[in-house]
Chains A and B, each alone.
Chain A
Amino acid sequence: MIIDANVQPHFRYNAEIRRYLSAPHKLRAIPDVELQWYQAPGGDYRADLYGDGYPGSDPETVAHHLFDEGGADYAILNPLSRGNIADYLLNSRICAGVNDWLLDRWLEPDTSNRFRGTIRINPEDVRGAVAEIERLAEHPKMVQVGVPLQSREPYGKPMFEPIWEAAAAHGLPVAVHVNGGNGVDHAPTFAGHAYTYPGYAAFMPLNSFVHLATLIIEGMFGRHPNLRFVFADGGYDILTPLMWRLDTFWMSMRDQTPWVDRFPSEYLPGHVRFCSSALDGPTDTSQAERWMDFTDKADLLMYGSSYPHWSTTEPETVVAGLNEGQREKVLWRNASDLFGISARVEGSLT
C-alpha cells in the first residue's frame, strides 16, 4: 500500500475562491497563489502539468496521476491558502472558503474514497481558527488541520495553545506547510532574504525546527499528550544534529523550563511526523538505510509527493536504499497510524 501524505490541490483559476466567500469578502482584494515572492523560475509546478487547466486543479487528472500512474492508494490533500495576509479576519474567511471548496470539489464527489483533506486555519486569528476546527472536525474525510510554515511567532508559544488544544481534542494532527501568496512575514532565512530561488527553496523547510523546538521547550507537547504535528515540507535531516544540541543543552538549562521532564528528543515519536521532499536524504543512497535510523526517523517519516510541485517525487525515489521495514513505515504505515486510514480491502471501501 502507498499513502501520499502531501498533495496540494489547486483552484482552476484564482477567482474561483470567490464562489466560496460570503458577501463582505467576495469583493475584497485577495492575492493570487502564484504571486508568492519566491516563485520558482519557470513556474512552481511540474512543466508537463501546465496547459490543460491549472496544475493540480482537476480531480480526475490528479486522481489518475496519483493513483493510477503513481500507485498510491490514498492522498492527503493540503491546499494552499494565500499567505499570512495582514487582515487576519479576511484570512480566516479565505481559509474557510478553501475548506468549503475542498469539500465541494474534491472530497464530497470522491466516491472512491481515496482523497482525504485538511482543515485550513489561520493561526493569527485564534478564535476564528478554533471555530473553524469545531465546524469541520467531525467530517470523516478531514484528517488534519493545516497551518502555514511562515509565522511571526513560533508555534510553541502560548498564544496558539487554544488552537492546538482544539486539534488534539478532535484527534487531528496539525500539518505545517509553506504557504503561497504574499504575507507579512519575516525574511525566510536567518541571514535575510535569499538572492536565488535555490537559496530560498533549500533553506525554507529548515525553519520547521524552530517551531518544533518551541513546541517541546514551551511544554506544549508536555501539556497535550495527544497533540501531533506534521512538518510537511521535509527538512528532517537537520533533526539529528539539532536535536542533539537540544538534548545536550537541556542538561544545562533544565531549571529554566522544569516542565520539560525528559530529553527533548523523547517527545518526537509521540508528537512529530514529517513528509518527504525532493531535497531530503543522503545523496549517496547506500547511506540511506543507516541514515534513516539516526533519530529513529523511520518512525517519523511519511511519503509525500508534493504533487503538482516541480519537485514532485515518486515513492520509489523516496525509499531508495531503505530496508523492508523502513519502506513499509514510510510508504504507508506511519501515515496509516497517524490518520487512521486502514488498508483497502479489495472491492470495499474503508
Chain B
Amino acid sequence: MQRRAVCAVEDLPPGTMKLVQAGKFGVGVYNIAGSLYAIANYCSHEGAPLCLGYTRGTTEYAPEMPDKIRHVREGQIARCPWHQWEFDITTGESLADPKKRVRTYEVDVADGQVYLTA
C-alpha cells in the first residue's frame, strides 16, 4: 500500500471517475457530489473490470408509485460491466447481498491534489 497522487482536484469533478494503475487490477477513484471514494477495479463475482461498467443510480420499492419503483442514488452505484451486479461505491457493498463486497480504499485531498492509498 502506498499513498500516491492521482490528479488535481479540478481534474476530478463531481460525477467523474479516474482509473489509477494501482494494485493488481487498478482502482477507480470517484467523485460523487463532492465526496471522493475508491473501489477496486475487480468485481468480486468473476473478476470483471468493475470500474469499466456504468455508474448509475438504483431503485427501491415504492408501493405508492404506479409501477412500485422509485429511482434513487443517482451516480452512487457501480454496475459491473459483465453481470451488472450493483455495488455501492460509497461502501463497496453489493446492494442485493451486502456480504458480497469489493475492496475499498482511502482517498484524501491535500494541497489541491487527490491522493489514493492503495
Interface of A toward B, CB cutoff 8 Å? 219, 250-252, 254-256, 258-259, 261, 263
Point out the residues of chain A lying under 8 angstroms from B63, CB to CB. 259
Give, as a whole number of angstroms, the nearest-CB distance from A250 to chain B: 6
Interface of B toward A, CB cutoff 8 Å? 45, 58-61, 63, 68-69, 83-86, 94-97, 100
- A219–B68 CA distance with the chains assembled, in angstroms: 11
Would you call A252 and B61 a contact (CB within 8 A)?
A: no
- A263–B99 CA distance with the chains assembled, in angstroms: 12
Would you call A251 and B97 a contact (CB within 8 A)?
A: yes
A252 with B59, Cβ < 8 A, contacts A258-B69, A263-B97 known: no
Would you call B59 and A258 a contact (CB within 8 A)?
A: yes
- A251–B69 CA distance with the chains assembled, in angstroms: 17
Residue of chain A at shortest CB distance from B71:
A255
Residue of chain A at shortest CB distance from B58:
A255
Point out the residues of chain B lying under 8 angstroms from A251, CB to CB. 45, 83, 85, 94, 96-97, 100
- A205–B68 CA distance with the chains assembled, in angstroms: 32
Would you call B86 and A255 a contact (CB within 8 A)?
A: yes
- A252–B94 CA distance with the chains assembled, in angstroms: 10
- A252–B97 CA distance with the chains assembled, in angstroms: 11
Q: Which of A219, A252, A258, A263 contacts B85 (CB 8 A)?
A: A252
- A252–B82 CA distance with the chains assembled, in angstroms: 9
- A259–B58 CA distance with the chains assembled, in angstroms: 13
Count A-B pairs with CB separation below 8 Å: 30
- A251–B84 CA distance with the chains assembled, in angstroms: 8
- A256–B60 CA distance with the chains assembled, in angstroms: 9
Give, as a whole number of angstroms, the nearest-CB distance from B112 to chain A: 37
The 5 A-B pairs with the shortest beta carbon distances in the complex, nearest first, are A259-B61, A254-B96, A255-B59, A258-B61, A258-B59
A254 with B68, Cβ < 8 A, contacts A259-B61, A261-B61 known: no
Would you give 13 A-B contacts (Cβ < 8 Å), ordered by A?
A251-B45, A251-B85, A251-B94, A251-B96, A252-B83, A254-B86, A254-B95, A254-B96, A255-B58, A258-B58, A258-B59, A259-B63, A261-B61
Give, as a whole number of angstroms, the nearest-CB distance from B3 to chain A: 34
Point out the residues of chain B lying under 8 angstroms from A256, CB to CB. 59
Apart from A254-B95, A259-B68: 12 A-B pairs, beta carbons within 8 A: A219-B68, A251-B83, A251-B96, A251-B97, A251-B100, A252-B83, A252-B84, A252-B85, A255-B58, A256-B59, A258-B58, A258-B61
Point out the residues of chain B lying under 8 angstroms from A261, CB to CB. 61
Point out the residues of chain A lying under 8 angstroms from B96, CB to CB. 250-251, 254
Residue of chain A at shortest CB distance from B63:
A259
Point out the residues of chain B lying under 8 angstroms from A219, CB to CB. 68
Point out the residues of chain B lying under 8 angstroms from A263, CB to CB. 97
User: Which of A250, A251, A259, A263 neighbours the largest number of chain B CB atoms within 10 Å of its CB?
Assistant: A251
A258 with B83, Cβ < 8 A, contacts A250-B96, A251-B94, A251-B97 known: no
User: Which of B45, B84, B96 neighbours the largest number of chain A CB atoms within 10 Å of its CB?
Assistant: B96
- A256–B68 CA distance with the chains assembled, in angstroms: 10
- A258–B59 CA distance with the chains assembled, in angstroms: 6
Point out the residues of chain A lying under 8 angstroms from B69, CB to CB. 258
Give, as a whole number of angstroms, the nearest-CB distance from A222 to chain B: 9
- A258–B73 CA distance with the chains assembled, in angstroms: 14
Give, as a whole number of angstroms, the nearest-CB distance from B75 to chain A: 15
- A85–B83 CA distance with the chains assembled, in angstroms: 43
- A277–B58 CA distance with the chains assembled, in angstroms: 43
Give, as a whole number of angstroms, the nearest-CB distance from B27 to chain A: 23
Give, as a whole number of angstroms, the nearest-CB distance from A87 to chain B: 33
Give, as a whole number of angstroms, the nearest-CB distance from B82 to chain A: 9
